Structure 1
Amino acid sequence: MEKINLDQETEDWLIAFFNGELEENEIEKIGEWLENGEENRNAYEALMRDYLQLRWAQENMNIQEKRAKEVIFSSLKKRKSGKLYYGMAAAVALLFVFFGYWFLGEKTRTSPVEVVQTEIKPVQSRAILVLSSGEKVDLEKSHEEIRERDGSIVKVDSSLGIRYDLLNQEEKTELLYHKIVVPRGGEYFLTLGDGTEVWLDADSELEYPVCFAGDRREVRLKGEAYFKVVKEEGNPFIVQVGTYTVQVYGTEFNVNAYDPRQIETVLVRGSVGFKANPSMPERMLKPNELAITNVESGESEIRTIDILPYVAWKNKDIVFVNECLESIMENVSRWYDVQVFFQNEELKDLRFDCNMQRYASIEDLFFFMEKTSNARFTINGRTVVISKK
């Protein structure tokens, strides 16, 4: 990693500038110092990258501003005097826009993210409910009770999603199925008839009985969902993805089946068993374990992991840990309903760390990534083009 010399007094001076603690005359001196040579500008850029990395991390942990400054100040001062290391993957848009004027050459005068005006909204709660009759109900617009032909009532709430009021369950002789279809750019929460809670991510579908019957509760999934299953002795809950099955015994877990050939299951708490297909033996997962299953070969790998990056979406966060840009953009394309094109294949292998609100603007996300890499993000309508700077 490149080392840049900077004396402690200058470092403290620049940090005070980043924190907005300098008077106007001192700010003018910063400008003069930056114009006084390429070495100063390189040192400034390296220090700011480190500062922004720490600032972003602290803000996303909801640390109060005063405490955040103390942590940033302390962390930077602990580094060896005169030696700074950069290459961290994070930034804060407001700060960069303010300070970017002094960056080197044309690079410093270029807008962080080029945008051709189109409103790209963050993830919103929206879905289509397909009733047993085939009728489709737009849940983003409907806030009324829906009655099924067996007397069951679907209650739609703008903040709580949908839930079922099951009447005369002992008299039901026919299983009626509903399907929730969540589009790209959407998410949805629902409570099934047995009380099981389900969070559906963008571009996902869940098909399920209005009222479960018999000795098993079975649902079918496409895409990604987080389940909080109500335990019922002798009545397991089963998630079916093609031939892949997860059998649940009262638990919380996440299933990612965007690629139906390779399915990921993460167990948060409780106990689950999974089978790649009917001919394979059931394997068990423990909390904080990830199962990666190749459905075609039937082979599975189980790893112990930090579950946060896998389930953060359910808590309205975006968390990536050393994740490649290609994988990140697959998620971004679903969350923001955009198309993504790479002009340079090698950019797909760039790796990033990220922890921010899921409802942040797409420009903010790209800004952070652009300022800590050699990638440029251009938004044209609903298309994102990624190229080299």
Structure 2
Amino acid sequence: MEQQQEKIFQLYIQQLTGHLSEEEEAYVQRMLAEDPAFAATWAALEAEGKEMDVQGYLHRVDEQAALQQLQQRSLRPASRKRWLAAAAVLLLLLSGGYFFFRSTPATPPLAQIKPPVQLLLANGRQINLDNDSAVRTVSNATLTTGNNMLRYESADTAMNTLQVPAGASYRLMLSDGTEVWLNAATSMRFPFHFSGGSREVYVSGEAYFKVAKHPQQPFTVHTPLTNIQVLGTAFNVNTYHNGNVRTSLVEGKVITSAANGLQTTLQPGYQSDYSAATGFAASRFDEEEVLSWINGVYYFHHMPLPELAAAASRFYGITIVTDPQKHARTATTGIMERDKLSAFLNDLETTAQVKYSYKDGVLHLE
């Protein structure tokens, strides 16, 4: 029954957006006449769509504004209007109206108890950080948490580690006034207090830095493959992909270097990709797209399904797998929003014809 409802919904979306084939139109008309359950579901969708003024919404969609909002710049112009219309309706219906006619949820209960953000002190003590506003004294530091952020006061120069699990993000205010946003599955080593003539931290994962300017105390971010040297600037660093480090400069100036002596200097609006095999390669980047994760959004463009499964696992904090051989040539474009896994899966099913199932704590894309 559930698969039938999924199929009806997809056909309804295709009809709304004007790309229902003649064969599919004939199938819909036949089912409306012969299958009372099909007809009831279709009528319920039409009623909900009328109440939500879906057709009016489609006519009012500003194509260029929607294009900018969804960052689908890589689509061919001829296909943009159809894709955006489908996306607009999908987002509209999936946000509420779609589930009204289902007797059981489309997606199995995927909510899991996720590990908390943790602060590992230099003395070995582990502290769970939650979103509740709190002030606590631990060892020789005063920690203030709230609104997904940590501030502290301490003169300790020993290195601590902040660990952000998959499915989460966190913000950190360093003692010098530098702000750091840490993405899912990211860790950062840092001292409570910077001493001497330098400020140094170590990052694995993805983080965005707004570095406070202290010319007499240069700031260095160490990654598994590179070092990023700054005085005062804003940039994003991504080490998610093994063997590659991407540094995207928003403002200021940075010098990023590797252990083999290679280095490159970045200007605002440019990013560098480094790999041990090819060295540094610079290119322009879209700031809104690169930094969207800070607001809980992730854009993907023509991404192979196995790669998307890995990215979605990290983003949503749930294990997602797929058959790399079966879907080696399956690629899709779209958007993920934090805490909206069901919408992402239904969108994926509609746009890429990918089914999904949930078993033993693992989400399978089929």
Task: Using structure 2 for the length normalisation, give the TM-score.
Answer: 0.71
Distance 2:161 2:230 in 1: 21
Distance 1:231 1:213 in 2: 15
Shift of the 306–68 alpha-carbon distance from structure 1 to 2, 3 Å rule, reads farther
Shift of the 348–363 alpha-carbon distance from structure 1 to 2, 3 Å rule, reads farther
Distance 2:313 2:361 in 1: 10
Distance 1:245 1:357 in 2: 31
Is 1:92–2:71 an aligned residue pair? no
Partner of 1:324: 304
Among 298, 311, 314, the alignment partner of 2:291 is 311
Distance 1:299 1:73 in 2: 42
Partner of 1:285: 266
Is 1:339–2:346 an aligned residue pair? no
Partner of 2:143: 154
Is 1:140–2:120 an aligned residue pair? no
Q: Is the 8 A contact 2:16 2:55 kept in 1?
A: no
Amino acid in structure 2 at the alignment position of 1:131: L
How far apart are 1:346 and its partner, in Å? 4.5
Q: In terms of Rg, which structure is larger?
A: 1
Q: Is the 8 A contact 2:316 2:338 kept in 1?
A: no
Instruction: Give CA-to-partner distance per residue, 1:199-237, whole Å, 9 cap, x none.
Output: 111111100011001111100111111111111113211
Instruction: Give CA-to-partner distance per residue, 1:343-375, whole Å, 9 cap, x none.
Output: 352424433332453232x11101111101132
Instruction: Give CA-to-partner distance per residue, 1:220-256, whole Å, 9 cap, x none.
Output: 1111111111111132111111341111221111111
How far apart are 1:276 and its partner, in Å? 2.1
Among 333, 358, 364, the alignment partner of 1:379 is 358
Distance 1:273 1:199 in 2: 21
Q: Is the 8 A contact 1:337 1:382 kept in 2?
A: no
Partner of 2:166: 184
Q: Is the 8 A contact 1:154 1:165 kept in 2?
A: yes
Unpaired runs of 5+ in structure 2? Answer: 1-14, 19-24, 33-53, 65-78
Q: Is the 8 A contact 1:197 1:227 kept in 2?
A: yes
Q: Is the 8 A contact 2:182 2:207 kept in 1?
A: yes
Q: How does 1:29-40 map to 2 (within 5 A)?
A: 34-35=28-29
Partner of 1:352: 332
Is 1:210–2:213 an aligned residue pair? no
Q: Is the 8 A contact 2:306 2:323 kept in 1?
A: no
Task: Using structure 1 for the length normalisation, give the TM-score.
Answer: 0.67
Amino acid in structure 2 at the alignment position of 1:136: Q
Among 117, 140, 149, the alignment partner of 2:109 is 117
Instruction: Give CA-to-partner distance per residue, 1:43-69, whole Å, 9 cap, x none.
Output: xxxxxxxxxxxxxxxxxxxxxx99954
Shift of the 16–206 alpha-carbon distance from structure 1 to 2, 3 Å rule, reads closer
Q: Is the 8 A contact 1:318 1:356 kept in 2?
A: yes
Instruction: Give CA-to-partner distance per residue, 1:2-21, whole Å, 9 cap, x none.
Output: xxxxxxxxxxxx7599xxxx
Distance 1:321 1:240 in 2: 29
Shift of the 98–223 alpha-carbon distance from structure 1 to 2, 3 Å rule, reads closer
Distance 1:352 1:185 in 2: 21
How far apart are 1:336 and its partner, in Å? 2.0
Q: Is the 8 A contact 1:112 1:371 kept in 2?
A: no
Q: Is the 8 A contact 2:305 2:322 kept in 1?
A: no
Say which SS state the counterpart of residue 365 (structure 1) adopts: helix
Shift of the 33–206 alpha-carbon distance from structure 1 to 2, 3 Å rule, reads closer
Distance 1:194 1:225 in 2: 17
Q: Is the 8 A contact 1:194 1:230 kept in 2?
A: yes
Amino acid in structure 2 at the alignment position of 1:140: D
Among 187, 190, 195, the alignment partner of 2:177 is 195
Say which SS state the counterpart of residue 226 (structure 1) adopts: strand
Partner of 1:269: 251
How far apart are 1:324 and its partner, in Å? 2.9
Distance 1:344 1:221 in 2: 30
RMSD, aligned CA:
3.9
Among 120, 128, 131, the alignment partner of 2:121 is 131
Q: Is the 8 A contact 2:209 2:235 kept in 1?
A: yes
Q: How does 1:162-181 map to 2 (within 5 A)?
A: 162-166=150-154, 175-181=157-163
Larger RCO, structures 1/2 (Cα 8 Å, 6+ apart): 1
Say which SS state the counterpart of residue 352 (structure 2) adopts: coil
How far apart are 1:262 and its partner, in Å? 0.9
How far apart are 1:381 and its partner, in Å? 4.4
Is 1:221–2:203 an aligned residue pair? yes
Distance 2:135 2:234 in 1: 29
Distance 2:221 2:129 in 1: 23
